């Protein structure tokens, strides 16, 4: 199992965690008490005393809301509680805690918001599988129109816990969830609707993860820092890895940025193979990056025979066509670590099966949504699609975006959440490819190399702030790496 602290649990797995906790001796009533109490504590730490309306649903999420209401009232807050349905219709733990609430219960409706300065959404939680409607939708929409701060329990009602899809949800400023996050807390649009996410301890032992065996994780250095390559005493440029990039023309900037990123990520040597026409452009713009001319396909094939080269990249600025496809197939045929990006992926749009057949060694693909749709099934949510593409192709798939998903052929997946909006700039994907290439060249396993590269890419952008250009990113990597490894 990968690092349990960053594990993500889907709705079914979280239900299993609760079941195992109850089986180990903690009752469901105690778990719900702990959950609601923890929500109240988070609220008390962030807000001064003020009128609050708690919106409760007909299930366990509503039960958590009743507990939250009781604890806030005991802390001296003015609490209104509105329930979807009747208290008599509640069952199990939710009914038990509803009966502990000795104040009035009113129907869930926009009128319940009168006088409120804070709203707690305890209507549905992560298990909802349909669009919000009726009083729940109307009341939350009114809270949003009035710009009342909303605290969501588990997830904002209308956000799907497994996928991040939103069916009528409104934005919360804070979401309080329990034990571990769910994929929907990180995948768009759910992540944007959750606001700050606080994960609280409600008494679920971490040992339940040994039974559940999660396969989804939030990207964090804890997953890969121990495997991050570091220069060793006695190392030389070849022992640190030699990365080869197929350089494009007339678009030369993409490969050059990727090359600098690979070098900054630690590769001992980086070479770009270019046409004779493009050679003067590349040579004039690069110093420590080597540039070699290739006039014919045979020249390129001979270059690949150099077994000191440990990883390949093709795609940035390569152009879509037969030459790019042929070079990609040659790289893949070597059995050495190969990263396909951009045009190298699109070059297989007419025959995706040929790409799958060619992957016989370590391979990473880094498509954005448009490139992904050209060679993979675009149906379903982002996590499911990325996983399916990795299984089908046998490659690690990095489906880029604000909520980048990294999936391995064995079913593991990592969701990244540190990418700032400033990365939406031309060339940033080329730099990402170069970072991952540099890690692959040093022998890092493809899945964790991809995860590390994505996180480092986001951290570098965060270190710069506004006004970021893609060419700024490689020079920000040393500072990020220094802080990580200090």
State the average pLDDT over residues 180-189. 98
pLDDT, the chain, mean: 97
- Kindly state the percentage of the chain with pLDDT values over 70: 100
The alpha helices in 76-185, defined as continuous H runs, are 92-98, 134-145
Helices (H) and strands (E) in the chain, counts: 18, 18
Output phi, psi for 399, to 5 deg. -90, 105
pLDDT digits (tens, 9 = 90+) for 286-342: 999 999 999 999 999 999 999 999 999 999 999 999 999 999 999 999 999 999 999
Q: Tell me, rounded to whole angstroms, the distance of Cα 193 from its chain centroid.
A: 15
Three-state DSSP class for 366? strand
- The span from the CA of 10 to the CA of 331, in Å, is 37
Q: Tell me, rounded to whole angstroms, the distance of Cα 155 from its chain centroid.
A: 17
In this structure, are strands 290-293 and 311-314 parallel, antiparallel, or unpaired?
unpaired
Hey, which residues does 120 pair with through a beta bridge?
54, 151
Single out the residue of 265, 304, 317 nearest to residue 441, CA to CA.
265
Structural domains in the chain? 4-214 (3.40.50.10260), 221-485 (3.40.1190.20)
Single out the residue of 377, 387, 385, 362 nearest to residue 215, CA to CA.
387
Q: Tell me, rounded to whole angstroms, the distance of Cα 206 from its chain centroid.
A: 22
pLDDT digits (tens, 9 = 90+) for 192-235: 999 999 999 999 999 999 999 999 999 999 999 999 999 889 89
pLDDT digits (tens, 9 = 90+) for 372-400: 999 999 899 999 999 999 999 999 999 99
- The span from the CA of 387 to the CA of 405, in Å, is 9
Give pLDDT, residue 14: 97
Helix 28-46 / helix 11-23 crossing angle, nearest 10 deg: 120
Count CB neighbours of 244 within 10 A: 31
Token duo for residue 270 = 């980086």
pLDDT digits (tens, 9 = 90+) for 464-484: 999 999 999 999 999 999 999
Work out the pLDDT band at 159, boundaries 50, 70, 90.
very high
92 backbone φψ class: left, alpha, beta (φ>0; ψ -120 to 50) = left
């Amino acid at each position: 199992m990968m690092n349990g602290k960053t594990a993500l649990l889907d709705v079914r797995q979280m239900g299993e965690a609760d079941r195992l906790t109850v089986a180990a001796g903690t009752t469901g009533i105690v778990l719900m008490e702990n959950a609601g109490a923890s929500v109240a504590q988070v609220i008390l730490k962030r807000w001064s005393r003020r009128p609050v309306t708690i919106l409760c649903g007909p299930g366990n999420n509503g039960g958590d809301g009743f507990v939250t209401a009781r604890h806030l009232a005991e802390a001296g807050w003015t609490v209104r509680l509105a329930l979807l349905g009747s208290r008599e219709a509640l069952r199990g733990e939710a009914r038990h805690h509803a009966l502990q609430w000795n104040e009035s219960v009113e129907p869930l409706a926009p009128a319940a918001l009168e006088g409120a300065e804070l709203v707690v959404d305890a209507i549905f939680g992560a298990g909802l599988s349909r669009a919000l409607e009726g009083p729940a939708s109307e009341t939350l929409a009114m809270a949003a129109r009035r710009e009342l701060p909303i605290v969501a329990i588990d997830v904002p009602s209308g956000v799907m816990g497994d996928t991040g899809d939103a069916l009528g949800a409104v934005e919360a400023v804070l979401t309080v969830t329990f034990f571990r996050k769910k994929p929907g807390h990180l995948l768009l649009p759910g992540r944007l609707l959750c606001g700050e996410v606080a994960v609280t301890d409600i008494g679920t032992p971490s040992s339940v993860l040994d039974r559940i065996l999660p396969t989804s994780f939030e990207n964090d250095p804890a997953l890969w820092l121990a495997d991050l390559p570091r220069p060793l005493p006695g190392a030389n440029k070849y022992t640190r890895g030699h990365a080869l990039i197929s350089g494009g023309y007339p678009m030369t900037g993409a490969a050059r940025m990727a090359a600098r990123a690979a070098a900054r990520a630690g590769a001992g040597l980086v070479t770009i193979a270019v046409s004779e026409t493009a050679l003067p452009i590349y040579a004039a713009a690069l110093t420590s990056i080597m540039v070699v001319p290739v006039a014919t396909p045979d020249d390129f094939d001979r270059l690949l025979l150099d077994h000191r080269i440990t990883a390949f990249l093709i795609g940035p600025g390569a152009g879509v066509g037969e030459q790019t496809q042929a070079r990609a197939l040659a790289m893949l045929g070597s059995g050495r670590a190969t990263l396909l990006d951009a045009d190298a992926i699109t070059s297989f749009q007419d025959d995706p099966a040929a790409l799958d057949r060619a992957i016989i060694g370590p391979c990473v693909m880094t498509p954005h949504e448009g490139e992904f749709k050209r060679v993979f099934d675009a149906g379903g949510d982002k996590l499911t699609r990325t996983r399916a593409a990795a299984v089908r192709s046998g490659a690690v798939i990095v489906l880029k975006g604000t909520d980048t998903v990294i999936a391995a052929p064995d079913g593991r997946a990592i969701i990244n959440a540190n990418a700032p909006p400033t990365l939406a700039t031309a060339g940033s994907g080329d730099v990402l490819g170069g970072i991952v290439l540099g890690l692959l060249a040093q022998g890092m396993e493809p899945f964790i190399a991809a995860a590390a590269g994505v996180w480092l890419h986001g951290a570098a952008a965060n270190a710069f702030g506004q006004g970021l250009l893609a060419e700024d990113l490689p020079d920000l990597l040393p500072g990020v790496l220094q802080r990580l490894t200090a």
